[in-house]
Structure 1
Amino acid sequence: MLLGATRVVDVTYLLDTSIYSQPLKRRPLAGVIDRWKEVGDHRCAVSVFCELEVLQGLEMAASARLHDLYRTVLQNRLSIIPFTATEAAVYARLQGAAARAGTTRPVIDLCIAATAIAHSLTLVTLNTRDFSGIDGLTLEGW
């Protein structure tokens, strides 16, 4: 399900790839899976860039088992938030701030962060260090 300009009211969490891909792991982190179940799918969404990273990983792995697992447990499970001019404006602000500070961040990480900020969502990740210090970003480690 793709979200357009209207935000789904119940969604409060934007899952990054480290969380969203857990059901595809041979040994998913039980704490992450339990927390996701506790929160509920209706309160979670992913960025189109997160979906891109998962699909890219599936193609690189070229595993029929993983493709089947994706179709069974992840495909169409959560809303996918597109990247529009709104998110692009937030991204530009974040990239400009990083450049002025003399730091660089991966483009996809900043796009995911920009999506969370633009929609007032808490970004959930296993890699809090990758997103720390981003102005306006609410971050939660599962």
Structure 2
Amino acid sequence: MQPVVLDTDIVSLSHKRRLSRPVATRLIGRRPLITFVTFGELTKWTDPRDWGSRRRRELADWLSGIPVLPGDEAVAATWGVLSAAATRAGQPRPVNDMWIAACCLTHNLPLATLNPKDCMYFRDHRGLRILGEE
């Protein structure tokens, strides 16, 4: 199975069983991975949404089957290059988008996202592969 990094939006809809059929079809035969950023965002969302312990446990159990790409030194170095280049180009990007792109680029993995416009800078200037555009 070919690996693919799932953006937070894809993971959230998958967990809720609301992912559209066309997107789900593109993921068939792929091994899903998430970044440490997505793991953190999903964990964060449980608090303001007042999730009880049962729902938090269900999410944790569901996520336990998906490997998490860490924010290690190589990813941090890639993030630094991305951040500096985007700022220098006058196109600063949201921090979490840069971390997710840095994970994908460091590990040479495509990204599945419902927000491709958020990733176009990384695709156009750094070669980020976006699932469906490969």
Kept in 2, the 8 Å contact 1:125–1:141? The answer is: no
Aligned match for 1:81, one of 61, 69, 77: 69
Q: Could you tell me which residue of structure 2 aligns to residue 67 of structure 1?
A: 56
- Shift, 1:11, TM fit: 5.2
Unmatched 5+ residue regions in structure 2?
Answer: none
Query: Does the alignment pair 1:100 with 2:91?
Result: no
Query: Does the alignment pair 1:14 with 2:5?
Result: yes
Cα distance in 1, alignment partners of residues 15 and 22 from structure 2: 15
- Shift, 1:66, TM fit: 4.0
Cα distance in 1, alignment partners of residues 114 and 132 from structure 2: 5
Cα distance in 2, alignment partners of residues 131 and 15 from structure 1: 13
Cα distance in 2, alignment partners of residues 108 and 136 from structure 1: 18
- Compare 63-72 and 16-25 and name the one that shifted more: 63-72
Unmatched 5+ residue regions in structure 1?
Answer: 1-9
Q: Could you tell me which residue of structure 2 aligns to residue 33 of structure 1?
A: 24
Q: How many residues align?
A: 129
Kept in 2, the 8 Å contact 1:11–1:121? The answer is: no
**Structure 2 residue identity aligned to 1:137:** L
Q: Percent identity?
A: 30
Deviations 1:8-36 (A, max 9, x none): xx552111101111133374433333443
The RMSD of aligned alpha carbons is 2.1
SS at match of 2:111: strand
Kept in 2, the 8 Å contact 1:22–1:28? The answer is: yes
Q: Could you tell me which residue of structure 1 aligns to residue 127 of structure 2?
A: 136
- Compare 58-67 and 83-92 and name the one that shifted more: 58-67
- Compare 119-128 and 15-24 and name the one that shifted more: 15-24
Q: Could you tell me which residue of structure 2 aligns to residue 7 of structure 1?
A: none
Q: TM-score w.r.t. structure 1 length?
A: 0.79
Cα distance in 2, alignment partners of residues 75 and 62 from structure 1: 19
Aligned match for 1:49, one of 37, 43, 48: 37
